[in-house]
Amino acid sequence: MFKKIVSSLVAITMVWLTLTLGRGESNDLIVYANEGCRTVAECREQINNAREELESIDQQDSELEEELGEVSAEIDEIVSQIEDSERNIQELQVEISNLQISIDENLALLEIIAEDILELEEEVALRMRLAQRMTASNTTLELLGGSENLMDFIRNVRLITHLVSADQIVMDDLTDLLTLQEDTLTSLHEQQVTLVSRQANLEAENELRAEAQARLEDRQETITGKRTELAQVRLSQEEALSIAESSRRALQNANVSNIVVRDGGSGFAFPLSSGRVACEWECYPGHNGIDVWTPGNTTAPILAAAAGTVTVSEFNNGGYGNFVIIEHVINGQRFATLYAHMSSRAVSVGDQVAQGQPIGNKGTTGNVIGSGHLHFEIHPGGFSWGGAVNPRNYINFPASW
């Protein structure tokens, strides 16, 4: 299952690379993973290049990861500041609301005090008019002169004095209270203005923080996108490394010196190190491939015609016997090659193989007439039943080689 997932990811990556290059964009890290290598020295060079590129990718990814961490920390700090400001704004709103209640209460009290002062002023005015009449008619002298004794005289004097001063004291007290209430109201208004200003400043600061947060989130998204692109390129490089290492092992451990790539650079090689054509394309009706055999060697190694991914490796009762299908991407085009009648299979689904790598041995499984041979097919666009074309379109098979 893991190999199937890896295979799918590789296929997606190759499509992405093809589309990117098709748009004319360049990326020094991109390497065609399907090119393979034809000599041990070439394989080693590709392995070293792939490893260097992977190191470069890891370094870039590490730097991006560090930058992403810094950006994320900045975003967290801004979010925390915004949350703190929001709490302060809510507290200020409560204070402003309470101040408004105090202002309303003081306004109501001022109205009451003003009414009391007005009533007292009317009463004092009435008493002053009465005192004037008493003065004019010598009422005051008569009141004092009619005192029966000293104590009575003192009481009358106090009465007159009280009439003059008592109202003035009350007036002074009410005036002082009115002044106090007005001062209190002014102070409350000033506090309210201050709190409203603080709230406006906090809201403005939060708007600036929100804009900074949006810019950081855009930067965060850009960095994440770059890391995703690097991951895709890394996948291609890992595939290139795997194929190059497989090619090197195949070239070191197998006799593939006689592999010849068809002139014209099709990218396909002979599926046997040596052999002879036994049955051409449609040598009989329905024969959709070429049969090749190796005289005197019924179990000769079968070699991958191009680098690619194994998609089928199984036994077929319908005629193929043991057979393998490999998917390739060559010069931006998709192909599949099929190898049938194998005596044994050396690869599994999901395996990455190099050009010329042994994938099994020639045999006589399935529907075979005569001595063992390899039935070989090429399918442009990927494998489909009935989708094979004449392999000679891509490989210049001689009568023998």
If one counts every other C-beta atom within 10 angstroms of the C-beta of residue 273, the result is: 22
3-state helix, strand, coil in the chain (%, to 5): 60, 15, 25
If one counts every other C-beta atom within 10 angstroms of the C-beta of residue 303, the result is: 26
Mean pLDDT to the nearest integer, 247-274: 60
Which helix (H) or strand (E) segment is 361 a member of?
A: strand 358-362
DSSP letters spanning 127-143: HHHHHHHHHHTTHHHHH
Cβ 346 vs Cβ 391: under 8 Å = no
What is the residue type of 186? T
pTM greater than 0.85 = no
Q: How far does CA 338 lie from the centroid of its chain?
A: 42
The per-residue pLDDT for 10 is 39
What does residue 361 show for φ and ψ, rounded to 5 degrees? -130, 145
* Mean of the per-residue pLDDT values of the chain: 78
In tens, the pLDDT along 293-335 reads 888 777 889 999 999 999 999 998 778 999 999 999 888 899 9
Q: What is d(CA 269, CA 272) in angstroms, rounded to the nearest whole number? A: 9
The CA distances from residue 178 to 104, 131, 186, in Å, are 15, 28, 12
N-to-C CA span, the chain = 40
Query: Best-predicted range by mean pLDDT among 19-28, 39-48, 225-234?
Result: 225-234
166 or 203, higher pLDDT:
203
In tens, the pLDDT along 171-208 reads 777 788 778 878 887 888 888 888 888 889 989 998 99
Query: Best-predicted range by mean pLDDT among 96-100, 143-147, 338-342?
Result: 338-342
- Which are the contacts of 217, defined by CB distance < 8 A and separation ≥ 6? 75
Q: What is d(CA 19, CA 367) in angstroms, rounded to the nearest whole number? A: 42
317 or 370, higher pLDDT:
317
The per-residue pLDDT for 7 is 43
Q: Percent of the chain at pLDDT above 70?
A: 73
DSSP annotation of 391 reads: G
Question: Comparing C-alpha atoms, which of 296, 311, 285 is closest to residue 379?
Answer: 311
